[in-house]
Amino acid sequence: MATFVHLTPAANSGTIRRAGVGARSPRQVDGDPRRGVYLFPVMTDHVDTYQWSREMRRTHGRGRVVAVQVRVPDAERVLVGRFDGQSERTTAADAVGVISGLTDRRGWEVFLPRAIAPAEIQHVREVRPVGWRYFPGSHGTAPCTCNGCRDRGGFGSRRLLERRPDSVDGPRPGMPALLERLDVVDLMDREAVIALLDDFGDRRRGPVDRLAHLVEHPDPEVRAALAWTIGGWSTPGAHRLLERLAGDLDAEVREAAEAWAEESR
């Protein structure tokens, strides 16, 4: 039997002890979306074994992290690989061998394409975060502040963005400046309206009532931009506006609205 750990927020401990680890993380395998559980083999090196804990704590609200130690049959089919590369199909035993033989195990992971039953769990215990942050080898590397890499709301993120503004993504104008632009923008100037919506979109909330009239805009590219803008907002009324856009006559507008609806499920 191969021994692995699965890292998860401590809030999940009770459910895991009762019902096991659910298959939640979708992964594309040869075009086929699989659901399963991410694991890492138990190594003699503590930092290697729990290397994902620091990054998990950063991305899950900085709460406590627990390690769920499980035993998987040696012949169980799994995927093994680095998080940013191709994964190989192999057995659980061979996956342990592959990772054990590496000189640098940072960023490697094992994906078990099924749930884990309570009987397969050896113990659940809290671990202190260790390992890398953002990506292996990030220490000493200048951080990127583009929308894809930015740690929005993280400690020092605003000062970092001001100190190292991304050439494309920021820093964005403040809300008062955006509302002033909204008051004077020419609604028939498609590029100006879309640029304004793009600046509004880099936020968690926004003025839904001030933008609602754009649902009836004659240009479908503006309506599609509106869908992408409000899709990530938690402002009351944003979801209702998105539902209206999901019934738009233009396919691109519907696709944008439905993409956000699918992500929120």
pLDDT by residue (tens digit) across 162-198?
777 766 666 667 889 889 999 999 999 999 999 899 8
- Please give the DSSP secondary-structure letter assigned to residue 21: B
Token code pair at residue 193? 């309206």
Task: Answer whether 147's CB lies under 8 Å from 155's CB.
Answer: no
pLDDT of residue 209: 92
- Specify the pTM: 0.59
| Distance separating alpha carbons of residues 246 and 254, to the nearest angstrom | 4
Query: Which of 54-68, 76-90, 152-166, 248-262 tops mean pLDDT?
Result: 76-90
pLDDT of residue 62: 62
| Distance separating alpha carbons of residues 127 and 10, to the nearest angstrom | 10
How would you classify residue 237: left for phi > 0, otherwise alpha for psi between -120 and 50, otherwise beta? left
User: Has residue 265 got a pLDDT over 50?
Assistant: no
Return the higher-pLDDT residue of 24 and 31: 24
* Averaged pLDDT for residues 48-53: 93
- The per-residue pLDDT for range 80-132, each reduced to its tens digit, is 999 888 889 999 999 999 999 999 999 999 999 999 999 999 999 999 888 87
| Distance separating alpha carbons of residues 117 and 114, to the nearest angstrom | 10
Backbone angles phi and psi of 48, in degrees to 5: -60, -45
pLDDT of residue 56: 84
Backbone angles phi and psi of 68, in degrees to 5: -100, 110
- The per-residue pLDDT for range 196-219, each reduced to its tens digit, is 998 887 677 889 999 999 999 999
| SS3 call for 250 | coil
